[in-house]
Amino acid sequence: MPSSATPTPTSTLSPASDAPIGVFDSGVGGLTVLRALRERLPDESLLYLGDTARLPYGTKSPETVVRYAEQAARVLVRRGVKMLVIACNTASAVALEHLSAVFWPLPVIGVVEPGAEAACAASRSGEILVIATEGTVRGGAYERAIMARRADARVVQIACPLFVALAEEGWVRGPIAGAIAHRYLDGVLREHAAADCLVLGCTHFPVLRAAISEAVGPRFSLVDSAETTARVVAAQLAARGLLRKPPGKAAKTPGEPSGPHAGRCRFLATDAPARFARVGAVFMGEALAPELTAEAVELVDL
């Protein structure tokens, strides 16, 4: 069945499974998660909110991040999402529990737990490096999540705030990205010779994967929480019967979206949507699709 352009849902799927997945981040970084979700779940409708009026979250206090995250999530919940994905490591680290309680029974998925799970599976030595924002490092959520799964693990966290600005500037390859990666990582690599797994603990970082990978060398597995989160989202939707395309209703060709609004991404930004579209292209790995609707959503502090 070809995808339909009509705005009125005509699907026979239940409203719940037909609803979009809500994804939010402080800005554009979470688009790496959105991209992974779109690749894994091409039938799903995705609604993304970038809280660009208050970005970044990574340098702010836990209390402030929790407040901002709840406000951002509420915008998505009001629009009827069937699941919330916190596509921001800082917010996942400090606000997952709070959002799960506030929006219960809506499923809420963060990026930290999937990343920790993947790191524990990938590391042989148990010595795991986590690179992240200052806020994520200070909160220690990755360390806790990894240790809870693997008691023999040794976790080393490194705050790499310049990577965020570098990714937003789009300078993702070349000598400057390389020099910054080496400056952040060389000393740590010398001190932790047994480390064999590096977690990209910020949704901005996957776009810098080549530079980071070169800096740490081939002995490292790189864990990209965008990919691991997309896997968990797919599994959770399936477990709850909330996948948009019901089992047995296969698309004609693999990856072809089916049903009304299938595969549709909508974008909301709390400020400066033009910048969001421009910088966002770096993270989506392509010019943002023509169906981009960058709405400015005014958030009011609690």
Residue ranges that bind a second copy, judged by CB under 8 A: 52-55, 59-61, 64, 134, 161-162, 164-166, 168-169, 171, 175-176, 179-180, 183, 271-272, 275, 299-301
160 counts as catalytic: no
Distance, CA of 212 to CA of 198 (rounded, Å): 9
Minimum Å distance from CB 284 to a second copy?
18
The tokens 């737990």 sit on which residue?
A: 113
Quick one: 182 or 240, whose CB is closer to a second copy?
A: 182
Is the Cβ of residue 43 or residue 51 nearer to a second copy in the bound state?
51
CA–CA–CA angle 25, 20, 281 (5° rounding): 45
Q: Residue 57 Cβ, how far from a second copy at the closest point, in Å? A: 11
Q: Assign residue 137 a region (left: φ > 0; alpha: ψ between -120 and 50; beta: otherwise).
A: alpha
The residue from 120, 160, 202, 265 that is catalytic is 202
C-alpha closest to that of 32 among 203, 162, 232: 203
Which residue lies nearer to a second copy by CB, 26 or 258? Answer: 26
Q: How far is the CB of 241 from a second copy (least distance, A)?
A: 39
Q: Which entry of 88, 120, 160, 197 is annotated as an active-site residue?
A: 88
Q: Does 202 participate in catalysis according to the annotation?
A: yes
**Which residues lie below 8 Å from residue 94, measured CB to CB, with a gap of 6+?**
62, 65, 66, 69, 135, 139, 141
As measured in angstroms, the least distance from the Cβ of 182 to a second copy is 9
Whichever of 42 and 178 has its CB closer to a second copy, that residue is: 178
Catalytic sites, residue numbers? 88, 202
